[in-house]
Chain A
């Protein structure tokens, strides 16, 4: 018998191996495609969020020499010589501005020091000792012409903090963007401290994003649950018709829907006009319903509601009506029966819909950008701002990384609760 079984193992291996190979070959092109067009870009963003090559590329030799500096006294003459040469080169290749900005973040005032130094170094020329020809060939060991020169340009070159700042700014990989994105800063000596409350931007924004997403999720659930219930209870023909009403916004372009809300809610818009015409509002007290958080919430709830209704409906449809009948026949009120019998059975749908809406909400960009005004912006809008206007790509990437972590965590929960391969569309 063992022989038979061993034989069984071999034969199974070959045929099932071929079948899974075939399945893999079918999946492989898409995996490769997603990998190159999507995963690698995400990877490049994450790399950028921790990668800070500007200073390291501009001052390689200075940094290499600084690495062996004990940070107690001042660095040696070789460091000063290298720094002077590389600062001059950076100015010539027009990278000095970026380098100075980076270093300035760690110790303010250094931007001015660097540009002043570069300017004056140009007039001095490649070798500070050149005006003393007799010492040109072999300077004595204790001669420090570059240190003297730099100290002559600015006292800051005589402070250990300056060099510490340069060394820290020269690290090729940095948590700086993430610290920044979490409203933390790193002092020159490497300690991490929270920004003073008035300078905190991103944590409050992240908090607001999560809060707004939660509020929108709750709104969608409150609006969507009765609707899904109505559709699930309706006879098939009417249910299909009602589903279509839910699907219309699902299919309509996001920009169209956002435009609609602008048209409806702006101060000269349809809703305000109606209210004024009805005499409920004076012409000068028109409500500000758009270009603020209200606009963001209303428009996003509208956009995301179908994503709540559809999963709820697909769960409710599978709940046989006789459970509720049995529960009410046992003598409970409708609400008791609902709470104890129906609601628990819809929890998978509630979970799926809520997670889906929440995941989509925290990453939303277009709607808040168009109708959010100044107060209705979310974390995505800050990413876009740093991508397109401040051009602080490292920070944009770090914020993106944080957002991605949130979404991936929620996605894993979703997968656990619902299973991605059971996801259905409209």
Chain B
């Protein structure tokens, strides 16, 4: 993560459209050269605005954006030399695939033979050899997507932005294209800043993910870190499933605290320093909870009531009332001998303090 050149840098960037409400607040972010970074968040969280500011279609209200160390505040989009893939492809419908790809090259006054060669190479890269003469309207969604990617790469930019490029495709095609985009990015070594609201897509493709919520970045980390070590309740629930319990700290011993949820006392791993009496949010992944463990194996063991059981093929999802929560969910792998659980059973569950992360409640930071 270090030693590489910083390619893109946001420093204290704010953005407001109406002069009152900030849609991006005090944003600080660095993207390294060759990195695949995804801006992930629900709609309206400010991720697309960030991408638009980077592309130059929106001006930051405050702060600085740098590309290779140079502030791009006054540089118009066409001089930024950034490849961009739009949500609905934005292919020019009146031009053929070849003409679409040649467009950025002609703008750059590249001679004819070079244009033809580069267009052919770009189409080969996206596996659409021989499609030069087709009109975008004659292509399938997936093919149009590939053309859009080829067009964003054909003039060899070192930075490519993608704004929910797979949103219009169905699931299978989307997964295939995720792989394709990743392959192309690795082949060329370009830096990619990718926007999506689909956390699985973000996990599958990215070197790092920046999770956006209400105009701020909640956490920037590689996918597995986001999953295993979420720092905020929002991240904990936005990336994968998580159970949240709410409580107050009773006592702290090094990294482990004891928290009172009102009905039980839970031992949890402290992510941020908290003192006795502070409120905490506890996050426990459903698949890290054991059902009917050997007594004494876990330092967190509770009696729970089974409210609902759903069969989901490779696993069962069991909904429990426990520790003051009525929607505590656990996952049980569908393996031989997963045990017979019935609705309304009283069961015991257990989990380690390391799988139960004590987070600073999200409301507290909002106030700050």
Using CB atoms and an 8 Å cutoff, list the residues of chain A in contact with chain B: 4-5, 7-9, 11-13, 15
Contact = CB atoms under 8 A, between A and B. Distances in A.
Nearest to A6: B19
B59 A8 contact: no
Contact of B18 (A4, A7, A12, A15): A12
B19 A5 contact: yes
B22 A5 contact: yes
Nearest to A11: B61
Contact of A15 (B20, B22, B59): B59
Chain B at the A interface: mostly helix, strand, loop or mixed? loop
A7 B20 CA distance: 10
Contacts of B18: 12
Interface of B: 14-20, 22, 59, 61-62
A409 B14 CA distance: 48
A11 B14 CA distance: 11
Nearest to A15: B59
Contact of B59 (A4, A5, A11, A13): A11
A12 B19 contact: yes
Given A8-B19, A8-B62, A12-B18, 10 more contacts: A4-B14, A4-B22, A4-B61, A5-B19, A5-B20, A7-B14, A7-B61, A8-B20, A9-B19, A12-B61
A7 B19 CA distance: 8
Contacts of B14: 4, 7-8
Contacts of B22: 4-5, 8
Contacts, number: 32
A2 to B, nearest CB: 11
A12 to B, nearest CB: 5
A13 B16 CA distance: 11
Q: Which of B17, B59, B61 has the most CB of A within 10 A?
A: B61
Contacts of A8: 14-16, 19-20, 22, 61-62
A4 B62 contact: yes
A11 B61 CA distance: 6
Contacts of B20: 5, 8-9
A257 B19 CA distance: 58
Contacts of A9: 16, 19-20
A4 B23 CA distance: 12
B249 to A, nearest CB: 30
Contacts of A15: 59
B77 to A, nearest CB: 14
Nearest to B61: A8
B75 to A, nearest CB: 15
Q: Which of B17, B18, B19, B20 has the most CB of A within 10 A?
A: B19
A379 B61 CA distance: 59
Q: Which of B16, B18, B20, B22 has the most CB of A within 10 A?
A: B16
10 contacts: A4-B14, A5-B16, A5-B20, A7-B14, A8-B22, A8-B61, A9-B19, A9-B20, A11-B59, A11-B62
Contacts of B62: 4, 7-8, 11
Nearest to B16: A8
Contacts of A13: 19
A4 B20 CA distance: 9
A11 B20 CA distance: 12
Contacts of A4: 14, 22, 61-62
Contacts of B61: 4, 7-8, 11-12
Contacts of A5: 16, 19-20, 22
